[in-house]
Chain A
Amino acid sequence: MIEIDGLTKRFGQMTAVADLSLSVGKGEVLGFLGPNGAGKSTTMKMVTGYLAPTAGRVSICGHDVETDPIAAQANIGYLPEGAPAYGDMTPRQFLRFIAEIRGFRGDAADQAVAKSVAKTELAGVLDQPIETLSKGFKRRVGVAQAILHDPPVLIMDEPTDGLDPNQKFAVRSLIKAMAPSKAIIISTHLLEEVDAICTRAVIIDRGGIVADGTPAELLARSRHHNAVTLTLPAAQAADAQAKIKTLSTVANVEQQGRDDGFVQMTAFPKSGALLIEDVSALAAREKWDLRELYAEAGRLDEVFRAITTTDTQRAKAVA
């Protein structure tokens, strides 16, 4: 439902997005990841028709955003970065305004607003000016206006930024519930969010895609994928490390000392090997006094750091 083809955006000398192609279908929740300044927001602004691309095209449900913007925009619910809203309006007035612009009239507008308010749990603050609301409520007002017309395509720039863990959970549940009938793109810095709600993760860096896959596929790229971490008394540590190393599936073992008389160590597998059975069998044989023993799924932040550049690196590259 979202087709992005060769999308490029240059601001003067600076290339913000470079030849980005992507297609998102119904039922997909695409997590858009990348360091600050990688081009996430710029891409979203082009997809929603706020910025005109330097090259390339975007099509939403078959409507080209540049040549047929109104039809495309009618199919999009968009939460811009920072969830902007008219601060002097109350959520009720604001959502009513959005409903009318979206073509709802009279009772239909009331119903659309009521539905959206119920989904985002805004009922308690409906008549307070938006500028007096907490960050969490402001964000939810933004989400409410984006989903008001039940759009087939949802574009959300950092939908859970600034929310407390309960509010994050609520917004994620909401997105999950809507997912089967929509094509959704969310951008986020929170890697756990990708794990929680996304069916697909795309990492972009310097305006281009550097990774594209399911969260599990990305996790498989992590050094910690299938690694085993165990905690045992310091007295047994040296012996344990030596014995684990002798396992045929283990590549190496790293130790992290702790100040409570225990040692935590992580065994990394040779590529593709599954370690947890071997290590737990070994631990049982040797009768180590294990405090912890668990297999790691992999760490997204590790993958993220490995394939993206830091802002200082980028600044250096430019200079």
Chain B
Amino acid sequence: MNQLWPIFKREFAAYFATPLAYVFIVIFLFAMGVFTFYVGRFYDTGNADLGVFFTYHPWLYLFLVPALSMRLWAEERRTGTMELLLTLPTPLWATVVGKYLAAWAFTGLALALTCPIWITVNYLGNPDNGVILASYVGSFLMAGGYLAIGACLSATTGNQVIAFVVTVVVCFLFTISGAPMVIDLFRGWAPYALVSAISSFSFISHFNAIQAGVIDLRDLIFFVSLIALFLTANVVIIDLKKTG
């Protein structure tokens, strides 16, 4: 635990040491706005809720989170700081978790900065703030899921572009695994258990469930265990790379 904090602090500060943090946050907020107001026609729905706003979160994360996660390990490997970091007297899990939490906290910060839209709906009408809060929690958890996948894949390579592309593809599969186009592919021949297992990996269905306003334990467990699984894989991959 003692070493997790300095690693978290360094990683979090690193976002702000370069224009990365500012560019990311501006684009994140801008894209949120475009999706909500132009694609989702927020005003035309005439509802004082944030349903439209949250609907596009999975698709935004799909591209923005890999952009954030690709550098987590790939950059350390390329610049050689990986060697420095891994020869410090720190348990590997603390390094992995510390770096991951910093990235997650940064995503959380970007998400928190969307609060003007929450103020707007409260100004315009009387939304169910409980639902909105649950949706924010769900969105944050989902971002954590994407990030854990990205962090793990970033550890496999020293090339950030490869890390980005592979992460987008894997995240895409997790995003749409519940959609009809995927399920129909399996439904004809695969046993029901497999089909439902595949569809249960869908980020969208878990996120939609939370968006309905209830944080079901099952959805919570899904995201938390997915994050734990990929972080464990992250530790294992780095450990395997040690054996050359």
Contact = CB atoms under 8 A, between A and B. Distances in A.
B83 to A, nearest CB: 4
B141 to A, nearest CB: 29
Contacts of A125: none
Interface string B4-27: 011101100110011000000000
Nearest to A105: B2
Interface residues of B, number: 25
A48 B244 CA distance: 15
B81 A51 contact: no
Interface string B216-244: 00000000000000000000000000111
B88 A73 contact: yes
A101 B6 CA distance: 6
B180 interface: no
Interface centre among B2, B13, B87, B242 (most CB of A within 10 A): B87
B125 interface: no
A166 B84 CA distance: 27
Given A70-B91, A88-B18, A102-B88, A52 B83 contact: no
B10 to A, nearest CB: 5
Contacts of B2: 103
A98 B88 contact: yes
Given A9-B244, A51-B242, A88 B14 contact: yes
B5 to A, nearest CB: 8
A80 interface: yes
B7 A73 contact: no
Nearest to B98: A101
Contact of B244 (A51, A71, A88): A51
A79 B7 CA distance: 19
Interface centre among B3, B17, B89 (most CB of A within 10 A): B89
Given A73-B89, A101-B88, A86 B242 contact: no
Contacts of A80: 80, 83-84, 87
Contact of B14 (A50, A71, A86): A86
Interface in A35-76: 45, 48-52, 54, 69-71, 73-74, 76
Interface string A70-100: 1101101010111011111100010001101
A84 B6 contact: no
A89 B17 contact: yes
Given A80-B80, A80-B83, A101-B3, A50 B242 contact: yes
Given A82-B80, A88-B14, A102 B244 contact: no
B122 interface: no
Contact of B7 (A101, A103, A145): A101
A81 B242 contact: no
Contacts of A103: 2, 89
Contacts of A145: 84
Given A88-B14, A101-B3, A103-B2, A52 B86 contact: no
A226 to B, nearest CB: 43
A37 to B, nearest CB: 15
A1 B244 CA distance: 26
B133 to A, nearest CB: 35
Contact of B86 (A50, A87, A129): A50
Given A52-B243, A84-B80, A76 B14 contact: no
A206 B5 CA distance: 42
B126 interface: no
Nearest to B239: A52
B40 to A, nearest CB: 37
Contacts of B87: 48-50, 73, 76, 78, 80
Contacts of B84: 78, 80, 84-85, 145
B90 interface: yes
B79 A101 contact: no
Interface of B: 2-3, 5-7, 9-10, 13-14, 17-18, 79-81, 83-84, 86-91, 242-244
24 contacts: A10-B244, A49-B86, A50-B87, A51-B243, A70-B90, A73-B87, A74-B89, A76-B87, A80-B84, A82-B80, A84-B79, A85-B84, A86-B10, A86-B81, A87-B79, A88-B18, A93-B10, A97-B6, A97-B9, A97-B10, A100-B3, A100-B5, A102-B89, A103-B2
| Closest CB pairs A-B (n = 9) | A84-B80, A100-B6, A88-B17, A74-B89, A73-B89, A80-B83, A48-B87, A52-B242, A52-B243
